[in-house]
Structure 1
Amino acid sequence: MGAGSGGADVKRLLNQLWVVIGAVVAAFIASWVIYMPDAEQRGVWRAQSGGSIITLNRLQAKLYSESSHSCVEQLTFPAHLKLVEFAEGATVSVEDDTLMLRVDGALDPTPYTRIDTLPAACAPAGNATPREVFDAMWTAMGEHYAFFDLHSVNWDTRRALAPAPDAVLTDAELFDLLGQALDGLDDGHVQLGSPIGYFSPSKTPEWFTQNPYFTRDGYLIRADLDRTAHETVGIPLTSVELTGIEYALLPDGVGYISIRHMGFDTPFGARSEPAMAQAFIEVADTMAEANSIIIDLRYNPGGSDSVSFGIASHFTDQPLDVFTKTTRDGDTQTAPFTAILQPFDATPLSQPVIVLTSKLTGSAAEILTMALRELPQVTVMGEATSGGLSDILGFKLPNGWDLGLSHQTYRTMDGSLYEAIGIPPDVPFTIEATPLINGEDPLLRAAFERARGG
């Protein structure tokens, strides 16, 4: 009788489990009906400045990389818009017959215009000849890259590198050929990714590659540089969970904040800017007791612009226009978008701030530098930054490889352009390899001296 009763309990439990599963499935289907693209959103949309196409139907969304030469499927995802928003931080809305795509991490939306049908050439990546791949890369760069003149590269002449239409190349040979075409663009946002490797034509600062300190591929390791900085601080640092931030308040009242990257392990359903601003509260609370603050961005390669704004929001008590950005649109530029830094609260960190930069300070770390330097209490010290401020426009090539390129122009509010040359410091300081190799950090020591009034 006991065994029979146990079997009945298991059966009852299984029945209950199926009821729960059925309820969950029904709820998901119901939510899909609620959050699938509506009639106004469904259809085919082309980015107003070119480069991509989005298709939306009741069940599926697709993103295509488009140029005048090719149209390749880049991404496919379910058309459950709330799920996409929670998982990826991306939203779409239709405003005055324009589809606005907002992606977490980018400060401005991308506008799309409705087109009648998907171009017949649009297809998934697959087998492609070396010539087709080269032509797709060459065309995408030619139509969307914004800074050939800054790097003194005549892109039209690179067409001569194209292989013959019937040329047969190994993947390694093709990869090397595309790299040759991109050579001379000292831009970390020009990127070529493939299953056989990654390439960027950007150049590394000389002090970062000097002998005799060979530890990994001939480079100083950023982690070792961070360790030298931390030893110079002289007291343990506290890490902020889910971020690249470590901080300490020294006994003499100088606050030190090291930001290794502008990434944030954003919780499911959260957006990175408010989440980062919230995470930074513990830093701000500690730094409220400081009489001066050092923010170390020297070895920060970047990440999310939204993360940068989440941090910077703690240093102002009023909205502040910090820069403009435009996107290449054929032979012209789109209308400027003004990035506005919003305050986190009414009690910002207003003490003197020294921001440390170097040629390794890149991308979103430069965006943070750009925002902070608009504040009266901030002084930038060190080297000019790397000069790679644009967001990355990603292209899928016909063979499935990935191309990234810079298509946006950032300018300070006074109109200055720092792409390719870097954001200049207020207080220049030459960084040399030898002291770093010996475990010394002259720039940080100079910053502490300045912060202490020396």
Structure 2
Amino acid sequence: MYDYTRETCLVAQTTTQESLASLITVEELKEDEFEATEDKGKLVFSKRSEIPPSCKDDRLITENGPVQTLEHIIHNFNDYYPFFEARGIFDWEQRTTTARELVNDQTSDDELLEIIINLLHGLDDGHVTLSASNGFEFSPASLEGTIDGILQDGFTNQSEISDFNSYISAQLQRMFEIKKSYFDDDSFKMAGGENQDTFQWATIGNGVIGYIEVLSMGGISDTSEEDDLSASEDLMDRILTDLAHTEALIINVMINGGGDLAVADAIANRFSQEKVTVTSYQATGYDYSNSPEVSQRIEREMEPTERVSFARPVATIAGPNTYSAAEHFLLSMRALNHPVCFIGEKSNGILSAVLDKKLPNNDVRLGLSNMITFDHTGQMFEAVGIPVDIEATTFELVDSNSQRNVAMDAAITALGFGYMVDQSEPAHDCSLTDARLRFETTAPQ
């Protein structure tokens, strides 16, 4: 198996038909291609008349060298990364020229790493990564608006606490205290994940509003990743049973790093009333004649679950710390014929799956965004983030005088219970009617 671009190629893996068959499940076999699934993901294998020209013996990369590594990285971005313009990178060609001038056969590993980091500077894509087996990982993603960035700025601009970790602990503890003050006595529960806190739920206003917070779409099971889906489904049964008497629901994913798309679906389908297309996706590349090549667009559908569900109004809270699979959860909720209001700030905008690429150094991997994701109306939100109905700050520094959570207040008000937070006026930006039509007419182009 080859990992190749139009100009570079190396052997990624040696396998047999028997080994491959144990990893994937063939779903449909055609004359020139076949469709298969791997770990619940859909794969399309197309027949080729010959191996790529860059993989011929005279061009195949067989040695780990700085020049070969740089070239393979550059050409992977040239061929498989479709988001330069969306990410505001308009000087990629000049960047590659500068990098090539700095690299030769004598370039050290540390020097090469610095050159690659400069090459990717400003890309602001959390799904672009360089990682090594020793635990090293680099991403050009910006910290602006993120929890890490806000906490670092807050620590720098204060003098009361000298230790950064102590400052973080104090901030997070106060934020938790404020959030918990909204909950009915003895209603708060947690479960899932290593610390048994990935799913959190409670009631608000003497059982009128249900509250669910999901911190990750992965790591739900305490035994193995393979059990994450079943663990999340069991947890959603338990949570929605506890909240069955509530009149409305808040789902908070404003701090969610993503994870498994199947887990996100296991949450969203609890609000599905009919079979709908929630998203579609395709990948880009080049064929052997150097012409741009786009894969067929694959649609993702969601059907109502036969497990415990919820049919009353919902408000979601999300923002710049909502990533990846958590953003796919938002796209699914946008597509459902369910009364949903979206509160907070635009999500982070890293919806693409990570395309994992081998480098000449076997200990180092390159990850980059390659999949273009569309919502149910055909719009793309990579880099720009998924918009909301009602804007509200989702993460801000607190002190001993802080008493309210702005996003929580906005969600409670949008659901029609503003009296609970001294907000008597209804949220005029969120009608909670026909969410599909609302987003078809108002989402940015």
In the alignment, what sits opposite 2:246?
290
In the alignment, what sits opposite 2:321?
360
Does 1:416 find its partner at 2:379?
Answer: yes
How far, CA to CA, are the matches of 1:134 and 1:303 in structure 2? Answer: 29
In the alignment, what sits opposite 1:193?
131
In the alignment, what sits opposite 1:407?
370
In the alignment, what sits opposite 1:135?
71
In the alignment, what sits opposite 1:444?
408
Q: Deviation of residue 229 (structure 1)?
A: 6.2
Q: Structure 1 pair 431/271, CA: closer, same or farther in 2 (3 Å)?
A: closer
Structure 2 contact 320–345 (Cα < 8 Å) conserved: yes
- Structure with a larger share of its residues in strand: 1
Deviation string, structure 1 residues 128-163 (Cα, Å, up to 9, x no partner): 221111100000011000111112213222221125
Q: Structure 1 pair 431/117, CA: closer, same or farther in 2 (3 Å)?
A: closer
In the alignment, what sits opposite 2:437?
none
Q: Deviation of residue 335 (structure 1)?
A: 2.4
Does 1:305 find its partner at 2:261?
Answer: yes
How far, CA to CA, are the matches of 1:271 and 1:207 in structure 2? Answer: 30
In the alignment, what sits opposite 1:173?
111
In the alignment, what sits opposite 1:379?
341
Does 1:320 find its partner at 2:276?
Answer: yes
| TM-score, length-scaled by structure 2 | 0.76
The range that moved more, 363-372 or 433-442, is: 433-442
**AA paired with 1:212?**
G
Q: Structure 1 pair 71/437, CA: closer, same or farther in 2 (3 Å)?
A: farther
How far, CA to CA, are the matches of 2:278 and 2:236 in structure 1? Answer: 20
Identical-pair percentage:
22
Q: Deviation of residue 428 (structure 1)?
A: 1.0
Match of 1:206 among 134, 140, 145: 145
Q: Structure 1 pair 140/213, CA: closer, same or farther in 2 (3 Å)?
A: same
How far, CA to CA, are the matches of 1:302 and 1:432 in structure 2? Answer: 17
Which secondary structure state, in structure 2, belongs to the residue aligned with residue 434 of structure 1?
coil
Give the alignment of 1:328-367 within 5 angstroms: 328-330=284-286, 331-345=292-306, 348-367=309-328
Give the alignment of 1:252-291 within 5 angstroms: 252-265=207-220, 273=229, 276-291=232-247
How far, CA to CA, are the matches of 1:289 and 1:124 in structure 2? Answer: 64
| TM-score, length-scaled by structure 1 | 0.74
How far, CA to CA, are the matches of 1:356 and 1:300 in structure 2? Answer: 11
How far, CA to CA, are the matches of 1:76 and 1:133 in structure 2? Answer: 20
The range that moved more, 189-198 or 230-239, is: 230-239
How far, CA to CA, are the matches of 2:296 and 2:48 in structure 1? Answer: 20
How far, CA to CA, are the matches of 1:137 and 1:366 in structure 2? Answer: 28
Match of 2:199 among 245, 263, 268: 245
Listed as ranges, the gaps of 5+ residues in structure 1 are 1-52, 54-63
**AA paired with 2:360?**
P
Q: Structure 1 pair 287/174, CA: closer, same or farther in 2 (3 Å)?
A: same
How far, CA to CA, are the matches of 2:225 and 2:118 in structure 1? Answer: 42
Deviation string, structure 1 residues 111-138 (Cα, Å, up to 9, x no partner): 3435656945599998522111110000
Structure 1 contact 73–122 (Cα < 8 Å) conserved: no
Task: Say which one has the larger Rg.
Answer: 1
How far, CA to CA, are the matches of 1:409 and 1:120 in structure 2? Answer: 30
Give the alignment of 1:13-52 within 5 angstroms: none
**AA paired with 1:247?**
W
The range that moved more, 284-293 or 159-168, is: 159-168
**AA paired with 1:237?**
F
Listed as ranges, the gaps of 5+ residues in structure 2 are 157-162, 287-291, 419-445
Deviation string, structure 1 residues 69-90 (Cα, Å, up to 9, x no partner): 43344456787669956xxxx5
How far, CA to CA, are the matches of 1:73 and 1:363 in structure 2? Answer: 29
**AA paired with 1:197?**
F
Does 1:68 find its partner at 2:68?
Answer: no
Does 1:429 find its partner at 2:392?
Answer: yes
Deviation string, structure 1 residues 81-118 (Cα, Å, up to 9, x no partner): 69956xxxx53456114243422254x33434356569
In the alignment, what sits opposite 2:47?
113
Q: Deviation of residue 325 (structure 1)?
A: 1.1
How far, CA to CA, are the matches of 1:240 and 1:359 in structure 2? Answer: 25
How far, CA to CA, are the matches of 2:372 and 2:112 in structure 1? Answer: 30
